[in-house]
Structure 1
């Protein structure tokens, strides 16, 4: 028999033998027609009772994996030939040629098995500072609410209490005035972008976005069949004059341009709104981490300036709470509201109502505002620690770009340093750095590093960047 059987302990012996024999049949190690040892012989080999092996064989025969011939023995059923692995799929197969096989990867993620000791990955938050005691009370409240309700499907746009909380929060913090029924709750900002593209862009139509820009958004648009046209940015944000006249949708990050960090100027915002109105285009404003401003006065959101109904405002709790929550929201122009709700219903009917109820309680009871104030202070300290090194011991190699908002900033790499080489040298010191090359499309990539500080504390920032500076200084001495 071509399967080695192993017994662990003396509990559940029949189950252990059954699972191993069945796996051998399923993966082809026990071929169709192959003869198995007798129940007596197998019992002696394994040191179990014959009744145990007899029970196992009877079960496998009853389920069709084995067959028995009186006086001849027990064999693997001939029908198991149907489980033979299929031949390799040819490169010309429909699956191999689909859009999903050709899509690029999204943003880099920290390896789960061996994370670096000092990780500057962007887009993550520090859950150790989240008030889980208060959250637990909110979840308990949500469970009680669910226990009292009927087992039924809910409004695709989300629970009323959460939509009210989101509308109130945005009116106060981002000057985005809306009625709660305009808010649609989504599975993070990613689903909001997916839904907006589905209801407003036909395959082959043009979606314009910033270059450099947010790769996951670019991937969504391409996956839905849009022609994605990159548009350059300068120190004032998206260059409106470079927009293609036939763009059906324009995706922008005006509060904190991703990845470079500068805000879009007021003049450029007004120009974009006028352009969208003239061309009948939808502007998607992704305000992914605009809550955290450390210098200057807040810039008006595009949505707050929109009098013509051309802006869809997208936000997320991934940067203010944590990404695993998977809760975002969109406030579309009024004509898109009903289509967006239908698209949400077709896709997943509605987001998790228990999470929505807990989050609504968390916001309406003031816990969310308190958490934001605490995190603003913490992120300000982390940003200051990062800038201290970028302007100090790392200044010979890196130059921070101006950035007053968010939980990441970009540092340009001074020539003649190489981006990939610097990342490799940092990795050797267990410092996780992430490059900019994959965020450019048509523009020539500018060597740089994106430093996320949402998930790394002040002490670790100092330790990690000191280690990086020491490693880079060693390289310069070697070169000299």
Structure 2
């Protein structure tokens, strides 16, 4: 243990060592069972005599805060912490304050344990992840011959950038070279980089309403003026876009959270609007790998002829959020600045994981994994759709959706009241659901549930819905 003790006074060195160690024990920074350095070693580090350190240790032992175990050394002994701990030393006076916007944003959600019947949104099934194959790929990347001591290209591992460009070209029809791809810590960092490069405080950003709260909070944190734009049966209502918007954030392939697919006419209208207004379109294709029916529409990026679409995606849904790997496909006019923004933010994402993912894609393992998980999620999608129709036909209207990891259903009557009451009762019954209203920036115009099926098996879906239905009858 590298133990620092402040010796600012020339006198009473033993007392200073004693008080410094005692304070660290009582505030919990030195914990029960931790070994302190031998007296000779600590004396050498502090530039004082060994006898001085020994005296301090003896005083701590006399208080019962330190115990000697012979040749094994001296160890901290269990003791209650002082109330307030390290924070109790804070001195009164003027304290640093964050910018006002940070006080206005919602606090980060507290991680909630998985419920027995978990219909929360955004979670893939971790049991489907190919842990053995991934472990072998990571082991190869961590060989000494494969690890460079130098910092790497902020844009990402060259092999992964090439693999992502090929993968997107085959699976989504996105025409991109490796030089167009920038590897990020998930889609959220991709949005952050776009905002840093393109947005000045006060610039307008149009977002779908309802929409994705983390993206909204990010743009607001950068000082942008976020403007909600309604979504109807064809997707984002382009006619309602504000004239001064600098950027538009959309999820056209599977609108989040409603699940609507943006129509071809709306896609063309949005691209025309962006060209006329000299704006950019941020296309978040967050779960496009999981499509269970219908004809897939071309991406906005594929339709774009003026270089105004920035295509964002991640591997959080198809693999695991814990990997924190995503990508951004950008036009040449922005690539230098985005690469620079990545460099000044965190230099680059973790290289071994990038190398492993490149190999995972190139060997066809990702395509096989997608086919496997798509079959599993399609079963859950079907079971959940049928169950909602069977149990809630008189209460909920299921919105059409043929892709992704969630469904959305709106209450046909008593919306606001039922949404609040039943959501609370559902959690008490071990059923995790999310209210549709939480995805609105303004006053909700629809009420219902957003139901994910990444975290609940096929076998548990029926029982989860049965429990929800029983809570509905309790309110009558």
TM over 0.5: yes
Contact 1:212 1:443 in 2 (8 A): no
1:149-179 per-residue CA deviation (whole Å, 9 max, x = no partner) reads 4300101000111111110110011000111
1:453-473 per-residue CA deviation (whole Å, 9 max, x = no partner) reads 112110111221122222322
1:221-256 per-residue CA deviation (whole Å, 9 max, x = no partner) reads 000011111111111011111111111111000000
**Aligned equivalent of 1:436:** 436
Question: Which stretches in structure 2 are left out of the alignment for 5+ residues?
Answer: 1-17, 30-54, 77-84
Alpha-carbon separation, structure 1, partners of 2:139 and 2:231: 47
> Which of the numbers 209, 212, 215 marks the counterpart of 1:214?
212
Contact 1:157 1:341 in 2 (8 A): yes
> Which of the numbers 83, 86, 91 marks the counterpart of 1:86?
91
**Using a 3 Å threshold, how does the CA distance of structure 1 residues 86 and 118 change in structure 2: closer, same or farther?**
farther
**Aligned equivalent of 1:126:** 125
**Aligned equivalent of 2:312:** 314
Contact 1:232 1:443 in 2 (8 A): no
**Aligned equivalent of 1:475:** 475
Contact 2:284 2:311 in 1 (8 A): yes
Alpha-carbon separation, structure 1, partners of 2:393 and 2:451: 15
1:202-230 per-residue CA deviation (whole Å, 9 max, x = no partner) reads 11111111111100000000000111111
**Using a 3 Å threshold, how does the CA distance of structure 1 residues 148 and 430 change in structure 2: closer, same or farther?**
closer
**Aligned equivalent of 2:9:** none
CA shift for structure 1 position 26:
5.0
CA shift for structure 1 position 442:
3.2
TM-score (norm 2): 0.82
1:23 aligns with 2:21: no
**Aligned equivalent of 1:340:** 338
- Superposed structure 1 runs of 4+ greater than 3 Å apart: 17-28, 36-52, 80-83, 146-150, 442-445
1:139 aligns with 2:144: no
Is the deviation greater in 282-291 or in 135-144?
135-144
Secondary structure at the counterpart of residue 285 of structure 1: strand
**Aligned equivalent of 1:193:** 191
CA-based RMSD of the aligned residues comes to 3.1
Contact 2:69 2:75 in 1 (8 A): no
CA shift for structure 1 position 355:
0.5
- Aligned pairs for 1:243-392 within 5 A: 243-392=241-390
1:446 aligns with 2:446: yes
1:370-394 per-residue CA deviation (whole Å, 9 max, x = no partner) reads 0000011000000111111110012
Alpha-carbon separation, structure 2, partners of 1:19 and 1:389: 63
Number of matched residues?
423
**Using a 3 Å threshold, how does the CA distance of structure 1 residues 45 and 385 change in structure 2: closer, same or farther?**
closer
Question: Which stretches in structure 1 are left out of the alignment for 5+ residues?
Answer: 1-16, 29-35, 58-79
